[in-house]
Amino acid sequence: MDGVGEKCILTGLRANHFRHPLDLRATESLKQLPGLDLAIRALLRPTAEQFFYLENIATSVLVGPQQLPDIHQLLVEACQILDIEAPQLYVKQHPVPNAYTFAMRGKQPFIVVHTSLIELLNAKELQAVIGHELGHLKCDHGIYLTLANLLTLAASQLPLGPVLAQNLQNQILEWVRCAEFTCDRAALLVSQESRVVASVLMKLTGGSPTLSPQLNLDAFLAQANAYEDLNYDQLAIFLKQLRTQELTHPVPVLRAKEIMQWHNTLNYQRLLQTRRLQLNEDARGGWRNW
């Protein structure tokens, strides 16, 4: 197979080739929300851009060919696969395993990965995380994603009134949860191994550098199936909704179940097959557009 190692490079990949339908609907709903433009202008001023960029570059390590080159190569390969320009990648000392993307108007986008997350994962899993974060950039999630991160801190200061501010926050959180499903798909497109993506979610749920080697992925996936089956009455459905409405991410077991299902769809298989065929045709000087 043409690609990075044994992987297919998805030349010409566009966001809507893999965007989750929930993400599509939530994005359209968000765009129609009154007060959104005002919130963006209030929170994402040029001074805010400069502050976050300087804060990050001053307190994290910038990854590159001469700085953590193995991690830099994971980024380069992931960008090749997703057909996206490489952003800056920083490693930040932090005890909470996490990774996030920051992209604001007029500035170089960057990804931050916490040291504790790197210690938790193997190289394949770390590249899947990088692919997930690249998915935010590929799908132009940056402005809304940054707004989501800031809104809960500044909602009380927005000149929107408490009801509208709360409505904005609820809509933004719903959008973020939907966008995460899309970015898990980007992680799978980079990894091209569904069990690697599911393993990341398992380790984020209950792993540590000591416990992770002992975790059983098949048992975790069975746990995900059990959670999905808890729709037997209205009370169970209500409790699940109540549990997630304040979260910025869907619960990990649901994400694992979702990515395993998408891996088995014709949509995913045809996407890789079409890209693979295009690479073969390109090598013979054939058609180049999809």
For 179, residues 6+ apart whose C-beta sits below 8 A from its C-beta are 20, 23, 26, 27, 136, 139, 141, 144, 145
What residue type is assigned to position 263 of the chain?
H
Distance (Å, whole) CA 24 – CA 142:
15
Distance (Å, whole) CA 269 – CA 257:
17
Residue 290 near residue 274 (C-beta atoms within 8 A):
yes
Catalytic pick among 77, 125, 133, 180: 133
Distance (Å, whole) CA 122 – CA 271:
26
Q: Which residue has the tokens 């805010």?
A: 48
First to last CA, the chain: 19
133 tagged catalytic: yes
How far CA 48 is from CA of 52, 172, 173, 225, in Å, comes to: 6, 19, 21, 43
Residues marked active site are found at 133
